[in-house]
Structure formats: structure tokens, C-alpha cells
Structure 1
Amino acid sequence: MNAISSETFRLDGKTIVVTGAGGGIGTAISTAFAAAGARVACLDRETPQATVDAIAAEKGQALGFACDVTDQTQVYATIQTIVAHWGGLHGLVNGASNDDPSGSIVELSPKHWSAVFDVHVTGAYHMSRAALPHIIASGGGSIVHIASQMGHVGARGRPAYCAAKGALIQLAKAMALDHADQGVRVNSLSPGAIETRRLVLRHGDMESAKDYNASKHALGRIGQPHEIAAAALYLMSDASSFMTGTDLLVDGGYTAM
């Protein structure tokens, strides 16, 4: 029997790309991976320098890149630069997101609908398509799509977001089947409400966000970015070596209620 140790959660010698690394969950994931020994390529629409600096301050390895995940040319060029610099690629976290407007299907314009899918779903497609050949060539690895509890349940005024996050959950399943024999595991990770800028944008301030969302979670509170980062580290590391094609809900009991 193989013993479980802290080494199981290490990422030493691995190069991992994290999109949406400019704040909130993406920053927490990037710093957690670097603390576990990974070389982390931090991507966002603007170079996430604050994330890179935070990692460097803790003696970690990170590079920052400005990359629009909806732009296929930018995505491929960025991945090529990362691989050329570090000599390989072992993992990818698709965490890029944008601010989705509230409204029913009849209230959402085609432009707003497409913008949500372009970033969350098509962006994950572009990144995965660019990264997969390099992950396979490096001997395999892990891909994680950041979905949401809203990929499992509905929410008033959020049809585009719910549909996009549900699509990511299904994308992970299909990709897992396609690439299992190439040594690549693919899972999705679904957070509940997390204390980030997105909640402030929806509720005006964090206290209002907490008041509104706390009772919707069985634990009676919203989550913290580091709690999602811990789950992402599990999915990226060998600790989850027998896990692929599934969704890991870290939602404080939201979907249990």
C-alpha cells in the first residue's frame, strides 16, 4: 500500500498555466501552486504582475502574460513562449472569467450572451487545444476547468452563466475520455459563492454579498479563495491520480440545500 504524504500534493518540476490569474481565485491558485513547487505561468487580459510579485516574494517561480483567451492567435503564441522558456508543460487551469450581466433570456442581448461563452467556454477550448500537445509531450498531466455550483443548479437572471458553467463541466468529461490514454486527466472544479471582486460587483459591497449569500450555503458563510486553491492543488497533483472526468464541488453545501 502506498502511503499518503505531503509529497503527494507537491508540484515540483512542473510547469502549469493558470488563466484568470489577476485576482481572486486565480491569484490564490497561482500562489498555492508556486508554494507547492510549480513554475506558474500567470495569464490574464492584462499582465497579472501583482500575482507574479507575490509569488516572487515567497521565492516561487512565476511569469506573467497578458493574454486574451478569446484570441486564438494570442493563446497559441503565449503557450509557445511558455514552453520555450521552461521546456515543457504539465498542467492548465482554465479560470478566466468576465462579468456577466443579469437578465432573463429575453433581456440578454446576443452580444452579452456570446461574451460569456466566448470567455468561459471558447476560451477554455482555445487554451486546452493549445496546451494539450505540450502536456502530452511532457508525459501527461492535469487540466482543471473552473466551473461553478451554478453549473448544477439554476439562478434567476443568470442563464448565460449557468449554461456556460454547465458546459465546462461537460467539456471536462468529454476531454477526460479523449485523453485518458495519453496520460492527461481532466476535471472541473465548482466553487460556491467566494469572497472576490465578482460578488462586490453583483451586490454593491462585500457585507451585502455575505448577507445575501451566507444562508444559501449549509455552512452559513461564503468561501475564501484559498479554499478553492486547495481543491485545485488536489486536482493538479498526484493526490488525485485516480480522478478524471468528474466535477469537484466545493460549495459549502449550496447544492445540498
Structure 2
Amino acid sequence: MSRDKRLHGRVALIVGGGGEIGGAIARRFALEGASVLVADLRPAAAESVADDIRTAGGVAASIALDVAVERECERGVAKAADLFGKLTTLVNVAAADTPRQCVEDQPLSVWNEALAINLTASFLTAKYAAPFMRNAGGGAIVNIASQLGHIGVPLRAAYSTTKAALIQLTKCLAVELATDNIRANTISPGSIDTERSTRSYGSRENARRIRGPAHLVGRTGHIDEVAFAAAFLASDEASFITGTDLLVDGGYLAFKGELPPEAAKA
């Protein structure tokens, strides 16, 4: 397996690592030299990613994890350190797939699920990971937020609110953990070409056609583009970056889907 070794010697827990974005991050980290524990609510999905990594010559294991349960979060963190001798890196990708509903129609259960998975789970995994990372001499936390955490979005109150709060939580983690040589950052992806993000459009082709022009680069993003950003933030190349949110959004927030007539012609 060819690696550039940026993450050599790191041990990473990827929460939500059985999904498309989480799986891409796990594979990228392993390719760059990290030992990876892939955690997901779906054990078969987590093991599939871990098996891909091992087949390619990397080091990985998997664990079934329900991040909505505090003791499960604690168990996942401890398992990573137990398997590989330490924990240096935490990536939180897991997110609730909330329905598109206005606030008036949204059940409290949906709101609470989004809070538990999108926000509280990242609080809990960081809470339990920090002592292990401190003992390892430092490390990095990367939380996957969203472009929708920066703007008001109709029918997405629960998702957008929790992602905005995740960005703020991560800034607080960066401040609290700085003296322990632990950095904490978020990534806010734009529309990424995944099954979940394209489901409401009927097909990936429709999603690309409809959502692509809303981004300055004229297309939706790829899972590997999020993975590249995560690997960068976890590496020493980002040693002077903490408490920030990295937009991997194809210019969505700068663009807002509207070009002036002269630029549109060009």
C-alpha cells in the first residue's frame, strides 16, 4: 500500500465510519498511515470499510456503536485505545437523517434525535477521548458540520441548528484543550454526492443537475474531497489551525447560487 505517511503512527476513531463520507475518511486516514477503528450503528457497514482497509494493506478494526447512548460513546473511545495502544485522532461524522419538515409539524422526537446524534455524541466522544489524547501527547478532533450550519434553511431547522451548534462546540473544545496539544476543527461540506444527500432528488444525476449550479464551481462535491480535508486537519500540516471551520462547499456560501449577468455569460 502506497502512503505519504502524513498520519503515520496516529490512531483514529471514525464515528459514523460506515457511511459514504465516513468510509472515505477512514480509508484516506489508513492510506496515509493511521490505524483506524471504524465505528457505526450498522456493524456490517463498519466491518465492510475496515475490511477494505485491511485488504489494501492498512490497519483497521470495526465496532458497532450507538452514539445516542453515552456508555456506547465511552466504550468506543476506550476500544480504540485498547486495540492500538493509544488514541490521537477523533472524527465525528455520524448525523441524523432528519425529514424535511417545518417547525410546526416536526415532532419533538425528531428534534431530540438530531440533538443526540449531531451534537451530543460529539460532546460525549470528545469528553471521553480527551484524556487518552492528552496521554498520547496531543492529537486532533475533526467534526463534520455542514454549510447548512451557517445559514437559515427552510424545513431543516433541526439539522441546521445542530450543525451550527457543533461548530460552536468545536471552538470551545479548541480553547479548552489547547494546552494539551489537542486541536479541534470542523469541516462544513457543501452538497456532496452521496446516496443520502441525493435521495430527495430521485437520482444522483438529478441531484447533480439541480444542486451543482448552486455551487460556484458548478458541481456537487465528492466524498474524497471531504476526506482530503479531514486528513489535512488531522495532520501536522495543520498544526497552526485550531478552532476553525473549513468550508469544503465549492463556493456555496460565497456564491449563494446567483451569478451577475456578466459573469453568467462568461
Which residue pairs with 2:57 in the alignment? 59
1:150-229 to 2 correspondences below 5 Å: 150-229=148-227
SS in 1 for 2:154: coil
Of 21, 28, 31, which aligns to 1:32?
28
CA distance, structure 2, for counterparts of residue 175 and residue 85 of structure 1:
25
Residues 230-256 of structure 1: CA deviation (Å, up to 9, x unaligned): 000000000100000000001001001
Which residue pairs with 1:96 in the alignment? 94
CA distance, structure 2, for counterparts of residue 78 and residue 118 of structure 1:
16
Residues 116-153 of structure 1: CA deviation (Å, up to 9, x unaligned): 11101011111111111101110000001100101111
Question: Percent of aligned positions with the same letter in both sequences?
Answer: 38
User: How far apart are 1:201 and its partner, in Å?
Assistant: 2.4
Residues 53-108 of structure 1: CA deviation (Å, up to 9, x unaligned): 11111100011000011111112122222212211100100111121110111111
RMSD (Å), alpha carbons: 1.2
SS in 1 for 2:91: strand
SS in 2 for 1:189: strand
Gaps of 5+ in 1: 1-5
Residues 165-205 of structure 1: CA deviation (Å, up to 9, x unaligned): 10111111111001101110000001000011212322222
CA distance, structure 1, for counterparts of residue 218 and residue 57 of structure 2:
36
SS in 2 for 1:37: coil
TM score, norm. by length of structure 1: 0.95
Which residue pairs with 1:19 in the alignment? 15
1:124-139 to 2 correspondences below 5 Å: 124-139=122-137
Give, as a single letter, the amino acid of the residue that structure 2 aligns with 1:161.
Answer: Y
CA distance, structure 2, for counterparts of residue 171 and residue 244 of structure 1:
13
1:108-123 to 2 correspondences below 5 Å: 108-123=106-121
SS in 1 for 2:163: helix
- 8 Å CA contact 1:70, 1:126 repeated in 2: no
CA distance, structure 2, for counterparts of residue 27 and residue 76 of structure 1:
21
CA distance, structure 2, for counterparts of residue 121 and residue 93 of structure 1:
13
CA distance, structure 1, for counterparts of residue 120 and residue 201 of structure 2:
27
User: How far apart are 1:225 and its partner, in Å?
Assistant: 0.2
Q: Which range moves more in the overlay, 192-201 or 246-255? A: 192-201
Gaps of 5+ in 2: 256-266
1:42-81 to 2 correspondences below 5 Å: 42-47=38-43, 48-81=46-79
- 8 Å CA contact 2:139, 2:183 repeated in 1: yes
Equivalences, count: 251
Q: Which has the higher contact order (CA 8 A, sep 6+)?
A: 1
CA distance, structure 1, for counterparts of residue 64 and residue 201 of structure 2:
28
Which residue pairs with 1:3 in the alignment? none
SS in 1 for 2:106: coil
CA distance, structure 1, for counterparts of residue 222 and residue 83 of structure 2:
33
CA distance, structure 2, for counterparts of residue 49 and residue 84 of structure 1:
18
CA distance, structure 2, for counterparts of residue 202 and residue 92 of structure 1:
30
SS in 2 for 1:64: strand
